[in-house]
Amino acid sequence: MSPAIVVLLLLAGCSEAAGRILPLVVRRPGLSRTAVAGWLLAGGLVEGAVFALWPLTAWTLAGAAPSSSGAFLWTPGLLAPLTLTAVLAFPMLGPLLHLLLFAGVGAGLAGPLAAAIGLGWWPATGCLAVAGTGLAVTVAAVRRLVMRIPATEVAV
């Protein structure tokens, strides 16, 4: 993976994480800057990893083993719209806009996936949708679990 792709993934991940963390910071103004920066960095790394896994997960769902040639990997041209989406659509701006922009990025990924695997555009789109939804649900579940842990520790 090239350094440009890593930077774009981290930027998209940090943007996503900021959209999730900023509402918490607003509700708890006494939080230290170090804690907020740590959350932002950790969240950015996790979100960036999820973005990086999206094409690989779709490839696996399509029933094809990833090739060593890397025929379907993130490229700056495919990743730039995702990064722009993450920057423009902080989740705070609204779930509908966020979903619409991610659907557009997924549609852009469908062509390269279909060409790399030999599927039609619609099956490739379905694989991307299932992969993206599965990753989003998994991250949301982990996020909720992590948010409950500090709440139970404080209550004890």
116 near 123, Cβ under 8 Å?
no
pTM of the model: 0.75
Count of beta carbons in the 10 Å neighbourhood of residue 154? 7
The rounded distance, in Å, linking the Cα atoms of 95 and 27 is: 20
The rounded distance, in Å, linking the Cα atoms of 90 and 87 is: 6
The rounded distance, in Å, linking the Cα atoms of 103 and 6 is: 22
Pick the more confident residue, 109 or 154. 109
Domains in the chain: boundaries: 3-155
Rounded to 5°, angle at Cα 62 from 60 and 7: 50
Q: Tell me the pLDDT tens digit for each residue of 104-144.
A: 888 888 888 888 888 889 999 999 999 989 998 988 888 78
Q: Tell me the pLDDT tens digit for each residue of 39-53.
A: 888 888 988 888 888
The rounded distance, in Å, linking the Cα atoms of 156 and 154 is: 6
CA-to-CA separations, 82 to 38, 89, 101, 124, 153, in angstroms, rounded: 23, 10, 8, 18, 36
90 backbone dihedrals φ, ψ, rounded to 5°: -45, 140
